[in-house]
């Protein structure tokens, strides 16, 4: 049985394939959101809006995405992480201060967080996975 943060994404091909699948999932969930273009697990997440869009796609009643500003990084990260914890039960693996300190977020940190969020959404039944 597959183990780890996103066991349902496990396929033959190893970690690179899982990472690609998770990135594609993020891209699909956030497509159409203004000022969000997920291309990687670093710079694409720098304004906090990609996190907000991903969460808004599951919890549209949690906040008004249209009211968010790309320049309000601290507020965007705080909103996203609080929503993930409250609505999805996602552990607070990232700190707002750490995210705003760096102009470009650390890809490993973002990837780990997104894996945990995915795992939590699967556990809540909000993400359907293919049964083997």
Per mean pLDDT, which range of 17-26, 45-54, 65-74, 122-131 is the poorest? 122-131
DSSP letter string, 113-126: HHHHHHHHHHHTT-
Could you tell me the end-to-end alpha-carbon distance of the chain, in angstroms, rounded to an integer?
Answer: 11
Q: What average pLDDT does range 42-67 have in this prediction?
A: 97
Longest dimension (CA), the chain: 43
- d(Cα 79, Cα 99) in Å, to the nearest integer? 13
Please report the pLDDT score of residue 1 as a whole number: 45
DSSP letter string, 43-63: GGGTTSHHHHHHHHHH-TTSS
Q: What average pLDDT does range 31-46 have in this prediction?
A: 97
Determine what percent of the chain is predicted with pLDDT higher than 90. Answer: 81
pLDDT of residue 7 exceeding 80: no
Please report the pLDDT score of residue 128 as a whole number: 84
Answering whether pTM is above 0.95, one says: no
Please report the pLDDT score of residue 129 as a whole number: 78
pLDDT in tens, 78-102: 999 999 999 999 999 999 999 999 8
Mean residue pLDDT of the chain comes to: 90
Domains, the chain, in order of start with CATH, read 15-124 (1.10.418.10)
């Amino acid at each position: 049985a597959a183990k780890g943060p996103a066991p349902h994404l496990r396929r033959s091909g190893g970690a690179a394939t899982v990472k690609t699948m998770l990135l594609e999932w993020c891209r699909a969930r956030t497509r159409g959101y203004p000022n969000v273009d997920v291309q990687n697990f670093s710079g694409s997440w720098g304004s906090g809006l990609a996190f907000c869009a991903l969460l808004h796609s599951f919890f549209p009643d949690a906040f008004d995405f249209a009211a968010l500003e790309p320049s309000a990084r601290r507020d965007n990260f705080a909103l996203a992480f609080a929503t993930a914890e409250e609505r999805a039960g996602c552990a607070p693996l990232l700190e707002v201060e750490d995210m705003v300190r760096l102009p470009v977020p650390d890809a490993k940190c973002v990837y780990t967080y997104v894996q945990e969020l995915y795992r939590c959404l699967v556990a809540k039944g909000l993400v359907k996975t293919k049964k083997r």
